[in-house]
Amino acid sequence: MTNETLTISQMCDAFGVTARTLRFYEAKELLSPIRIGSRRLFTRRDRARLKIILRGKRFGFSLEDIRQVLDLYERDSTNEVQVRHTYDLAKARLAQMEAQRAELDEAIKELKAELAEGEKTIASLRQAAE
Amino acid sequence: MTNETLTISQMCDAFGVTARTLRFYEAKELLSPIRIGSRRLFTRRDRARLKIILRGKRFGFSLEDIRQVLDLYERDSTNEVQVRHTYDLAKARLAQMEAQRAELDEAIKELKAELAEGEKTIASLRQAAE
DNA sequence: CGTTACATTTACGTCAACGTCAACTCTGCT
DNA sequence: AGCAGAGTTGACGTTGACGTAAATGTAACG
């Protein structure tokens, strides 16, 4: 099963982060490992959240941004107003990500065009070299 | 034409950044506005570069990363070794961006699934409310 | 000529996101 | 009992990317 809990160093190995980082995320309430005495044990839930955190970072989101995203996955589904609000936030976030994807596509296209130019340059240099 | 040069405050308005930011980017050699006396005038080239800078930031690249990307668009095309190196860098950068795109797609899919869940929750709450 | 608006340099301040000690505390082994 | 190794809590340090304040410059307008 994936129900096992991990110690802090096992988490570090699994995700390629330092212990300092995990403690920092806990202090920011992004993670909430259970405690055995003073030691932390990271659950499946913590691992799922950490995945989201790390991915968010790769897209340039701040930890504060990411905290809001995490809340989306944690809705309590009893209070309609609350659920609605969360839902709206998620829709906004989705729109933002789709815009980002469009921009990314644009940037990729441009870079590809530059690459084609580069190839031409290299070819002509090779021509001139003989 | 788009050949006009802009003052620093015009640039700020046009791009939604502060003057401090533009001076900072110049100090980091990301921009190189021409000088009339001590004053800066930003050219079409600066504007093109700033666009790339701001977009890079939105994707979580550091200014140093971005400086390398900018160099790609500035190749001098005389030295084959230099051109080759730049070309390789660009290819690596492209691969990175395409990976990022794949991840972004994944994240969007997940978020959409969450949204669908949210809709079901809202529907059932509405049912229960009558 | 004075003032207003915009710009400049220099320099210190700030905030996020950790890194890096130091000084313990547990736990398990031998 | 003693020791190693993993983990803990402070607390201060660092780096990147600017913010902010102070002192000064300059162009143009009434």
Q: Is A122 on the interface with B (CB under 8 A)?
A: yes
pLDDT at B1: 56
Kindly state whether residue A18 falls inside one of the protein's structural domains. Answer: yes
Kindly state whether residue A99 falls inside one of the protein's structural domains. Answer: yes
**Are B91 and B47 found together in one domain?**
no
Kindly state whether residue A126 falls inside one of the protein's structural domains. Answer: yes
Kindly state whether residue A68 falls inside one of the protein's structural domains. Answer: no
Q: What is the DSSP letter of B60?
A: T
Using CA atoms, how far residue A55 sits from A48, B32, B77, B103, in Å, is: 11, 34, 37, 8
HSE (CB half, 13 Å, CA atoms) of B115? 14
**What CATH number is attached to the domain comprising A23?**
1.10.1660.10
Residue ranges with strand state E in A19-90: 34-36, 39-41
Last residue of a domain, one of B33, B60, B87: B60
Q: Which residue of B has its CA nearest to A62?
A: B60
pLDDT at A1: 57
CA distance A31 to A22: 8
CA distance B67 to B20: 18
**Are B56 and B79 found together in one domain?**
no
**Are A11 and A56 found together in one domain?**
yes
Domain of B19 in residue numbering reads as: 1-60
Phi/psi of residue B62, each to 5°?
-80, 165
| A30-53 per-position pLDDT tens digit | 999 999 999 999 999 999 999 999
Q: Looking at the predicted structure, is the pLDDT value of residue A115 above 80?
A: yes
Kindly state whether residue B94 falls inside one of the protein's structural domains. Answer: yes
**Are B80 and B122 found together in one domain?**
yes
Last residue of a domain, one of A40, A62, A84: A62
**Are A58 and A81 found together in one domain?**
no
Tally of domains within chain B = 2
**Are A13 and A52 found together in one domain?**
yes
Last residue of a domain, one of A62, A88, A103: A62
Q: Which residue of A has its CA nearest to B61?
A: A60
Kindly state whether residue B68 falls inside one of the protein's structural domains. Answer: no
Mean pLDDT throughout B107-115? 91
| A71-104 per-position pLDDT tens digit | 888 877 778 888 888 888 889 889 989 999 999 9
**Are A86 and A40 found together in one domain?**
no
| B71-99 per-position pLDDT tens digit | 888 877 678 888 888 888 888 889 989 99
Most confident of A20-24, B78-82, B98-102: A20-24
Residue ranges with strand state E in chain B: 34-36, 39-41
Residue B24 (CA) to nucleotide D23 (C1'), in angstroms, measures 20
**Are A10 and A56 found together in one domain?**
yes
Please check whether strand C approaches the CB of A16 to within 7 Å.
no
CA B87 to chain centre: 20
Q: Looking at the predicted structure, is the pLDDT value of residue A129 above 80?
A: yes
Kindly state whether residue B116 falls inside one of the protein's structural domains. Answer: yes
pLDDT at B13: 96
Find the range with the poorest average confidence among A25-29, A64-68, B10-14, B15-19: A64-68
| A 34-93 near B (Cβ less than 8 A) | 55, 57-61, 72-73, 75, 77, 80, 83-84, 86-87, 90-91, 93
**Are A30 and A56 found together in one domain?**
yes
Kindly state whether residue B81 falls inside one of the protein's structural domains. Answer: yes
Mean pLDDT throughout B52-81? 87
Looking at the DSSP assignment, which residues form a beta bridge with residue A119? none
CA distance B47 to B28: 16
**Are B56 and B88 found together in one domain?**
no
pLDDT at A30: 97
**Are A58 and A80 found together in one domain?**
no
10 Å CB burial of residue A92 (0-12, 13-18, 19+) is exposed
